[in-house]
Amino acid sequence: MTATIRDVAQRAGVSVATASRVLTGSRKVSPILAERVNEAAAALDYRHNAVARALRRGHTNTVGMIVPEIGNPFFPAIVEAVERRLQGTGRDLFLCDAQQDVAIERHRVHALIARQVDGLIIVPVSATASRAALADIPGSVPVVQVDRFVEEFAADWVGVDDELGIGLAVEHVASRGAHTIAFVSAALESSSALQRHEGFERAIARLGLPSDFPRLLGTYRAEWGRAAAIELLHSGALPDAVVCGNDEIAVGVLGEFRRRQVHVPDRVLVTGFDDIRFAALADPPLTTVRQPHEQLAAECIRLLDARLADPQTPVQRTAIAPTLVIRESTGGAS
Amino acid sequence: MTATIRDVAQRAGVSVATASRVLTGSRKVSPILAERVNEAAAALDYRHNAVARALRRGHTNTVGMIVPEIGNPFFPAIVEAVERRLQGTGRDLFLCDAQQDVAIERHRVHALIARQVDGLIIVPVSATASRAALADIPGSVPVVQVDRFVEEFAADWVGVDDELGIGLAVEHVASRGAHTIAFVSAALESSSALQRHEGFERAIARLGLPSDFPRLLGTYRAEWGRAAAIELLHSGALPDAVVCGNDEIAVGVLGEFRRRQVHVPDRVLVTGFDDIRFAALADPPLTTVRQPHEQLAAECIRLLDARLADPQTPVQRTAIAPTLVIRESTGGAS
DNA sequence: TTGAAAGCGCTAACAC
DNA sequence: GTGTTAGCGCTTTCAA
């Protein structure tokens, strides 16, 4: 069995209290005893039991994070940024994947909460169906939502202004001469899908563009982009531009157009959203709305710490204005 | 504060033992009392404290997983497969990212072990420098290495036969007429980099191909692929084929070649490794060595459970033979 | 400065 | 079938 603090104390000839004080540095202990304790701990290869410590202390120096789907490259990027921010604050990040399923998501919330994480960072799967999961979180645990949020739920949030972002994309393709614009995105389940869709409708209306071109809503994945591209091709007149709800979809659209010799950007313009690693490597390189990971992560941790410091802080929602990255898929920087 | 089992017991008018028995279903309790306990628990919105339970029980129904870099899309794919396998066994997966840093990796190992995970799944950052982290794991905790392993360290492992995989790629491009073949991969730090490199050398020797074409070793990332492509172009005669250590590198190589109008596959063949989601969407679609995620995950959990059941089980190393997926980057299926 | 002891919330002997 | 109680390993009053 692994050594306990009792073993260390015994070997050092001190009380467990003293051993604890040395091992955690919680109080001054005479150098002689400290030395003895440290030696004993080393000799026994002592490791503190974080479970016991957590039970006693009531907190864990741990933050939990739940993402809807770790396979969507946008989320690992966010996770990495959050990790970097947490680095140096002495807290560990435990990550969970909800596999796009609100039941699993809820289960993960419970698992993390039950393990006494000091805070929870969550990208909710659904704008409505994830409410139950979040509602299960006791008020004593700080929660911050990132990227997506649950409607009518009072919890901090940080994300990009999705509506604005899509607006940027629409205005950009319009400025490049696109008159008819299709929208390919995910079903209106997550808040991001909802907001991006809303942003598209508004931009179209604002610019007075014809509104009878397709809105194809499926999933945030490349396969859906492929399928949607095929649908567009079969539906008669190709639009001048296809604005996509994220980069994965856009890459799928690009792939299918390429396969069918529909030239981008000459024949049709394509835009994405997120600026994932592969956006710049797509063929043609993808014009997209960039999400500033580091900024999102920084704000996320700031919100978390603010709530940790004062649980009564009023709910804050931070929408960061995204920027458009112009690449070849819309004709390149001009 | 959140309700404890004591509160539930009190409200139900039973002992904590009975409450515990009802709540965990560990023993038969009369229906009347069970009903009362359940009612009380519901009324108080009782949540069991997993920390206390873990301390008492000594296990947690939790498995920890550490990956070198969550931003590398191969790892999320493995994680998803592992999650699916774990699903239904009633265990939660807590994921950690080592950020390619053995010090952080070691820290994560400690964090997970200290929280009493029942087992640890790890893709070690380094074939040598990760040994310290693994050595810190008490013998009582089952560990299985996936994909990569630590040299001269006795722990279960499952992965693809990297040497064989690269051999497949080399033989394939040779069969498509390539005589001069360059190798672009990651520095010989991880076991996968080592084995793939070894596989390349052996295949070249076996086929009697000229061995003076570059081996460019950097990182497993697309930027490195770009840089290496530039280096190849500047170094004089372009090889007939570029065999890459993973798909990210290959995508970078492809991107740079495209930008410089070096036609793939007419002018040069390119292969990858992993078959990540974007491999099929690259331009041209990438010929690559496919890693069977589901099979890897299944074997991983099998190994874990075998060791859980019998800690004395002799160490097992399972090398799965990968398959080659032929796409346009080497001329397409013939 | 140090030690004795309570107790975090829970489960599992053990007794009835 | 149910209750009493010890104790998982640790930190932290409280006393000395």
Cβ–Cβ below 8 Å for A140 and B62: no
Number of Cβ within a 10 Å radius of residue A334:
7
Q: Residue A27: what pLDDT?
A: 85
The tens digit of pLDDT for each residue in A194-237 reads 999 999 999 999 999 998 889 999 999 999 999 999 999 998 88
Q: Residue A1: what pLDDT?
A: 62
Strands A181-186 and A215-218 come out as: parallel
Cβ–Cβ below 8 Å for B95 and A99: no
On whether any CB of chain B is under 8 Å from the CB of A254, the answer is yes
| pLDDT surpasses 80 at A316 | yes
| pLDDT surpasses 80 at B201 | yes
CA-nearest residue to A284 within chain B is B283
- The predicted model scores a pTM of 0.94
Name the percent of chain B lying above pLDDT 90: 93
Strand C, nucleotides < 7 Å from a protein CB: these are 1-5, 7-13
Mean pLDDT of chain A, nearest integer: 95
Cβ–Cβ below 8 Å for B116 and A252: no
| pLDDT surpasses 90 at A104 | yes
Q: Which residues are B269's β-sheet partners?
A: B241
| pLDDT surpasses 70 at B1 | no
> How many angstroms separate the CA atoms of B240 and B263, rounded?
11
A89: exposed, middle or buried (C-beta count within 10 Å: 0-12, 13-18, 19+)? exposed
Buried b (16+ CB within 10 A) or exposed e, B223-252: bbbbbbbeebeeeeebbbbbbbbbbbbbbb
Q: To which residue do tokens 């796409």 refer?
A: B327
The tens digit of pLDDT for each residue in B208-265 reads 999 888 999 999 999 999 999 999 999 888 999 999 999 999 999 999 999 999 999 9
Question: To 5 degrees, how large is the angle CA B289–CA A95–CA B162?
Answer: 20
- Return residues 26-55 of A near B (CB < 8 Å): 47-52, 54-55
Q: Which chain A residues have a beta carbon less than 8 Å from that of B48? A: 114
| pLDDT surpasses 70 at A327 | yes
Is-contact B182 B232, C-beta < 8 A?
A: yes
- Residue A128: how many CA atoms within 13 Å on its side-chain side? 4
Q: Which chain A residues have a beta carbon less than 8 Å from that of B104? A: 87
B311, amino acid identity: P
Model confidence at A91, pLDDT cuts 50, 70, 90, reads very high
Residue A334 CA, distance from chain mean position? 32
Q: Is the peptide bond before B284 cis (omega within 30 degrees of 0)?
A: yes
A123: exposed, middle or buried (C-beta count within 10 Å: 0-12, 13-18, 19+)? buried
Q: Residue A154: what pLDDT?
A: 94
Cβ–Cβ below 8 Å for B222 and A281: yes
Nearest residue, CA→C1' of D13: A17
Q: How far is A205 from chain B (nearest CA, A)?
A: 33
Strands A323-325 and A287-290 come out as: antiparallel
Q: Which chain A residues have a beta carbon less than 8 Å from that of B77? A: 71
On whether any CB of chain A is under 8 Å from the CB of B107, the answer is yes
> How many angstroms separate the CA atoms of A223 and A233, rounded?
16
The tens digit of pLDDT for each residue in B280-293 reads 999 999 999 999 99
> Count H helices, E strands: chain A?
12, 12
Q: Residue A187: what pLDDT?
A: 98
Q: How far is B206 from chain A (nearest CA, A)?
A: 34
What's the Å distance between residue B15 CA and nucleotide C16 C1'?
A: 14
Q: Residue B264: what pLDDT?
A: 96
> How many angstroms separate the CA atoms of B93 and B112, rounded?
11
Tokens linked to B180: 């001069």
Task: At A123, give phi and psi (nearest 5°).
Answer: -105, 100
CA-nearest residue to B47 within chain A is A114
> How many angstroms separate the CA atoms of A310 and A319, rounded?
22
The tens digit of pLDDT for each residue in B37-87 reads 999 999 999 999 999 999 999 999 999 999 999 999 999 999 999 999 998
The tens digit of pLDDT for each residue in B156-177 reads 999 999 999 999 999 999 999 9
Nearest residue, CA→C1' of C7: A56
CA dihedral A11, A13, A18, A23 (to 10 degrees): -30
Strand D, nucleotides < 7 Å from a protein CB: these are 1-5, 7-13
Q: Which domains, and CATH codes, for chain B? A: 5-48 (no CATH), 59-159+292-320 (3.40.50.2300), 162-291+324-330 (3.40.50.2300)
Question: To 5 degrees, how large is the angle CA B298–CA B84–CA A184?
Answer: 130
- Return residues 161-220 of A near B (CB < 8 Å): none
Check residue B89 and report its DSSP letter.
Answer: T
